[in-house]
Amino acid sequence: MAHQRIKLALIDLSGTLHVDDQPTEGAVEALKRLRQHGVQVKFVTNTTKESVGSLFERLRKIGFDLQRNEIYGSLGAAAEYVKKNNLNPYYLLTNDARTDMPDTDPERPLDSVVVGLAPDRFCYEHLNEAFRVLHQKGAKQKVQLVAVHEGRYYKAKDGIALGPGCFVKGLEYSTGVPAVCIGKPNEYFFRSALPDGISVEECVMIGDDPNDDCLGAMRIGMKGYLVETGKYQPEMYSEENRPAVSDIFATFSDVVQHIISCSDQ
């Protein structure tokens, strides 16, 4: 069967191209090869700990050749959501991530909570503030809980680390307010990352999260390629419950090799 030529690669960042300040093996060169092969790239990330500007600077510093406007993040998508719905949120975000979001208006009552990965905000005091915003009765507008994403965990340089998902679920549990999830694996997020003129069949998603990256993208018809450089731990799976992704590769570089060799056939 002839392979569909890949025109666009959506690429996850943390755990796929880098882990903290280390590129994954061969990733800097592989990204160059992919571009030279004429494949467009877009970096799709649920990273919410830092602003797009900080993330961009960090990736440039560790050797990646990219443009700031090639990063499509759930934080930016959440900022759009807040503006579109004219929300006045209480933010459970880091100070850096806050710089990507609209300011809170002190003249208006708080009507929503926005949650991203914010280790220094996930203490009782701040979570209780968030709880009180969501629990208020008689609000003219319905209160909203906005999850920038609901990641369970991610790979940090000292090991696996807790994501924001359990805090989102905790707030849902205590208030009965269901969260609106913005980032991966939301279908809307993947569709809005696709530029005009490119079909889902011409696009692949490459990431280290079987569900949020691969299965999310596969639900709208893209291929989802999983890499083993991040949070995915093969030893946690047996042959029977192996994630049903399009394919699994050791590194991002191996995926690039596969894409190039398929398009040459």
d(CA 59, CA 66): 8
Stretch that binds Mg ion, among 7-15, 29-37, 82-90, 190-198 (CB under 5 A): 7-15
- Options 4-12, 54-62, 133-141, 169-177: segment touching Mg ion (CB under 5 A): 4-12
- Report if residue 15 touches Mg ion, rule: CB under 5 A: yes
- We find the least distance from the C-beta atom of residue 152 to Mg ion, in angstroms, to be 12
Question: Cα–Cα distance between 117 and 110 in angstroms, integer?
Answer: 20
Between 142 and 157, CB nearer to Mg ion:
157
Among 8, 11, 14, 190, binds Mg ion (CB under 5 A): 14
Please work out the total of residues on this chain that contact Mg ion, with binding judged by CB under 5 A.
4
Nearest to 65 by CA among 35, 21, 108, 89: 35
Q: How far is CA 208 from CA 28, 41, 160, 248, 252, in A?
A: 17, 17, 13, 10, 9
Nearer to Mg ion, 15 or 89 (CB): 15
Determine which residue in the list 12, 50, 100, 254 makes contact with Mg ion, applying CB under 5 A. Answer: 12
Part of the chain binding Mg ion (CB under 5 A), chosen from 8-16, 74-82, 126-134, 256-264: 8-16
Residue 169: partners with Cβ closer than 8 Å, 6 or more residues away:
150
Counting Cβ atoms within 10 Å, is residue 62 exposed (0-12), middle (13-18) or buried (19+)? middle
What whole-number distance in Å separates Cα of residue 31 and Cα of residue 52? 19
**Shortest Cβ distance from residue 157 to Mg ion (Å)?**
14
Residue nearest to Mg ion (CB): 15
Work out which of 208, 226, 254, 259 binds Mg ion, going by CB under 5 A.
208
Which of residues 15 and 116 has its CB atom nearest to Mg ion in the complex? Answer: 15
23: β partners:
18
Give min distance, CB of 128 to Mg ion, in A: 30
Instruction: Tell me the C-alpha distance between 167 and 13, whole Å.
Output: 23
Query: Residue 38 CB, nearest distance to Mg ion (Å)?
Result: 25
- The one segment of 12-20, 34-42, 160-168, 184-192 that binds Mg ion by CB under 5 A: 12-20
Closer by beta carbon to Mg ion, 127 or else 206:
206
Nearest in space to 98 (alpha carbons), one of 73, 126, 124, 79: 79
Rounded CA-CA distance 264/255 in Å is 14
Residue 89 or 216 having the CB closest to Mg ion: 216
Q: Are strands 40-45 and 8-11 parallel, antiparallel or unpaired?
A: parallel
Interface with Mg ion by CB under 5 A: which residues? 12, 14-15, 208
